[in-house]
Amino acid sequence: MDNGDTAALTSGTYSCNDSSSNCAGNWGMITANNLFGSIECTESAGCILDGLGLHRVMWVSGTGGQTLTLRALAFKDGQATNGGGLETKTGALVDVVLCVFGNCKATGTSGGAIFVESSGTVVKIFGTSFIGNTADSRNGNDIYRKDGEITFHDICPPPYTAKTPTQGSALDTFGSVNGSAFSFAECFIVCPADYSTTHLATAVQTHSATPARPTRQVQRAPQPV
């Protein structure tokens, strides 16, 4: 993936069962160093990034002053000292959109799902669910903000017209966070009033995670893992 590109993943489970660095970097199963663009699921939001309890799922260090967007991905069973699902640092600008963090674990400082480490790092969360994440230290089962900034938005991002997603349980956080620190889900595109229920049912069955689709398509976030 080059800077500014979109890495489009098809539905399926992506994992690495080698506990060494043969198929995973020292910092995570997926590493992004000064990389910006988009990593997203293109089919039914069914892309599972599975750390298998062996690796942090993703590590992001810097994004070159641009934004890296993570869209419609499920971060599952990630494990690391900090941020079992995702660690961000060194001025990275990361948007987490319509994702799920499930059963991720921090064995050290904390941040079972997400760890925001350093100054200048900005993480924005939209329509994302957090389920069953843990931290051995009990400091931030879901979120640990050491420095930088993390903001939870209680609206769905464009082009999704639902102004307020479904709010779930409050998150366990450590360090100050901005916005509504809750698990959110069910962002979708509203069909026109004259669009029949038959067409709607068909759209739901064949929905796409690609935001450029017509507004008659319906997109939902990944299901809890």
pLDDT (tens digit, 9 = 90+) per residue, 4-21?
Answer: 899 999 999 999 876 555
Q: Write out the DSSP string of 50-66.
A: E-TTTS-SEEEE--TTS
Vertex 111: Cα angle to 165 and 34 (nearest 5): 85
Confidence of residue 46 (pLDDT cuts 50, 70, 90): confident
Which pTM does this prediction carry? 0.82
- pLDDT tens figures, 52-110: 999 999 999 999 999 999 999 999 999 999 999 999 999 999 999 999 999 999 999 88
Q: Identify the H or E element spanning 198.
A: helix 197-205
The more confidently predicted of residues 157 and 142 is 142
User: What is the rounded CA–CA span in Å between residue 7 and residue 49?
Assistant: 14
List the strands of the sheet with 114-116, edge to edge. 30-33, 58-61, 86-89, 114-116, 143-145, 173-174
Of the candidates 83, 78, 148, which has an alpha carbon nearest to the alpha carbon of residue 109?
A: 83
Distance CA 35, CA 37 (A): 7
